[in-house]
A and B are shown apart, each in its own frame.
Chain A
Amino acid sequence: MERRFERNLEDLKTALAKMGSVAEESLGVALKALLSGDQVLAQRVFEMEEKINRLEIEIDTAIIDLLALNQPVAGDLRFIIATQKINNDLERIGDHAVNIAESVLTLQTLPGVSIPPEIHQMVEIARTMLKQALDSFILLDTSLARTVLRTDDQIDDLNRLMAQQVITQVKNNVLTIEGGLELIRISRNLERIADLSTNIAEDVIFETEARVVKHHAERNDTN
């Protein structure tokens, strides 16, 4: 006899997978708009955000019902808690995609600002990290999740590098302050997306292995 609760958990996973794909698509559109300067694409990100917000609330409601009505424990409990956190992380990623789309529109008013190669690199890394984090959730693949954790340092380094370059270019009058601020804003949003992808990967490891790997806890774990 199949348990109804197990079907509910399957449904929750499906709902989160859908949320993930919408967030990923929204980010993809925002990044394409960023690299091409396409304002129409940027507008689409705003529309997608509404869908993401709606899904977030649906999933949150389903989680509250599951917790209240089934009193889950052990792996079931970890799955539901991880799902709730990932759900919120994906919604945040949707917000950052919106921020990037807003930057695309702002850049149109700032002629002469081009997207530097570091941002191109960050775009690739952030996109890959989110994809791998979502795949690790679907497949419960903790080695893929750990790949995500290791990649985060690269994007942090690039973010710092971007800030330094902007400062230098503004000082040398190669870049306006407005243009510089916008580039820093984009860089920061990409760094945040990578960070949230890291959170997702950490929650996958928590769900699967019952281990806390946040804040580099795993490095200090001697067991």
Chain B
Amino acid sequence: MSEKNIRLSAKDLNVYYGAKHALKNVTIDLETNHVTALIGPSGCGKSTFLRSLNRMNDLIDNIRIEGEVNLDGQNIYDRMVDVVELRKRVGMIFQKSNPFPKSIYENVAYGPKINGVREKKQLDEIVERSLRQAALWDEIKDDLNRSAMAISGGQQQRLCIARAIAVDPEVLLMDEPASALDPIATAKIEELIYTLKKSYTIVIVTHNMQQAARVSDTTAFFYLGELIEVGDTKIIFTAPGRKQTEDYVTGRFG
């Protein structure tokens, strides 16, 4: 049997918002070059878990995090870890696209510039490569100086993906990346996710179970802060092991 190549793993992860125990002893391995979908009803902890993978939760008052999240074997909650460096390695795409009020070019070049890339030619290359990878280049290559705010919602979301991959991350976290988009733009994002997994490890939170089924290799079902079941997406959607999972994916929940 081939050894799984694990990029990220959580071990006994507990998250508390004040007295509320939001994530309970979550242990899970996330495979390299896989798409892992996190599903479950609102408040189940899936977004909390996603945000704990690049320490976005650190920004919340009154939060307490116990346990480990290991990226390539190193605990990201270790005191020595530089959070800015961590977020470069673990990028994030949000539900609502949030381009900077700058040109398309500047949006993508922003991260590399902060990381010290100065040379125009090199920046041009990074911008083109990132936009190509985000399946946006052909649509906007003649409009790179146009405001990022002037393109469609679907294009803005792909621009945010281009911006995230411009700094060469290892992991992409996506929080409902297509829920604000129409079906055509959604299909493009889903195809893009499938293409991107060849280069990145992707974790996606989605309320749309069909989307989880379509895009992911592995599905993790959360309920009331617990990881109920994780497994091959084909298995989760055809013959899940736990009754709670079956009830949720068949819409019989509650």
A residues with a Cβ closer than 8 A to B are 1-5, 64-65, 68-71
Find A65's partner among B135, B188, B194, B234 (CB 8 Å cutoff): B234
Give the chain A neighbours of B238 by CB distance below 8 A. 64-65, 68
Query: Do A68 and B214 form a contact, CB below 8 Å, given A1-B135, A4-B191?
Result: no
B224, CB-defined interface residue at 8 Å:
no
A71 lies within 8 A of B210 (CB): yes
B110, CB-defined interface residue at 8 Å:
no
Q: How long is the Cα–Cα vector from A68 to B191 in the complex, in angstroms?
A: 18
**Chain A to chain B: the 9 pairs with minimum beta-carbon distance, closest first:** A68-B237, A69-B213, A68-B238, A1-B191, A65-B234, A71-B210, A4-B194, A64-B238, A69-B214
B83, CB-defined interface residue at 8 Å:
no
Interface centre among A2, A5, A69 (most CB of B within 10 A): A69
B168-221: which residues lie under 8 A (CB-CB) from chain A? 187-188, 191, 194, 210, 213-214
Given contacts A1-B135, A70-B213, A70-B214, 12 further A-B contacts (CB under 8 A): A1-B188, A1-B191, A2-B191, A4-B194, A64-B238, A65-B234, A65-B238, A68-B213, A68-B238, A69-B213, A71-B210, A71-B213
A3 lies within 8 A of B191 (CB): yes
Give the chain A neighbours of B135 by CB distance below 8 A. 1
Give the chain B neighbours of A4 by CB distance below 8 A. 191, 194
Find A69's partner among B188, B194, B237 (CB 8 Å cutoff): B237
B157, CB-defined interface residue at 8 Å:
no
Q: List 5 A-B contacts (CB under 8 A).
A: A1-B188, A2-B191, A5-B214, A69-B214, A69-B233
Closest A residue by C-beta to B190: A4
Q: How long is the Cα–Cα vector from A70 to B237 in the complex, in angstroms?
A: 11
Q: How long is the Cα–Cα vector from A1 to B135 in the complex, in angstroms?
A: 8
Q: How long is the Cα–Cα vector from A4 to B189 in the complex, in angstroms?
A: 12
Give the chain B neighbours of A69 by CB distance below 8 A. 213-214, 233-234, 237
Give the chain B neighbours of A2 by CB distance below 8 A. 191
Give the chain A neighbours of B233 by CB distance below 8 A. 69
Give the chain B neighbours of A3 by CB distance below 8 A. 187, 191
Q: How long is the Cα–Cα vector from A1 to B191 in the complex, in angstroms?
A: 8
Closest B residue by C-beta to A71: B210
Closest A residue by C-beta to B212: A69
Q: How long is the Cα–Cα vector from A65 to B214 in the complex, in angstroms?
A: 10
State the Cβ distance, B25 to closest chain A Cβ, in Å.
Answer: 29
State the Cβ distance, B181 to closest chain A Cβ, in Å.
Answer: 15
Find A68's partner among B187, B194, B234 (CB 8 Å cutoff): B234
Give the chain A neighbours of B214 by CB distance below 8 A. 5, 69-70
Q: How long is the Cα–Cα vector from A70 to B210 in the complex, in angstroms?
A: 7
Q: How long is the Cα–Cα vector from A65 to B217 in the complex, in angstroms?
A: 12
Closest B residue by C-beta to A4: B194
Closest B residue by C-beta to A64: B238
Q: How long is the Cα–Cα vector from A71 to B187 in the complex, in angstroms?
A: 14
Q: How long is the Cα–Cα vector from A3 to B237 in the complex, in angstroms?
A: 21
Give the chain A neighbours of B237 by CB distance below 8 A. 68-69
Q: How long is the Cα–Cα vector from A4 to B198 in the complex, in angstroms?
A: 14
Complex interface bits, B209-246 against A, C-beta within 8 A gives 1, otherwise 0: 01001100000000000000000011001100000000
Closest B residue by C-beta to A5: B214
Q: How long is the Cα–Cα vector from A70 to B213 in the complex, in angstroms?
A: 7
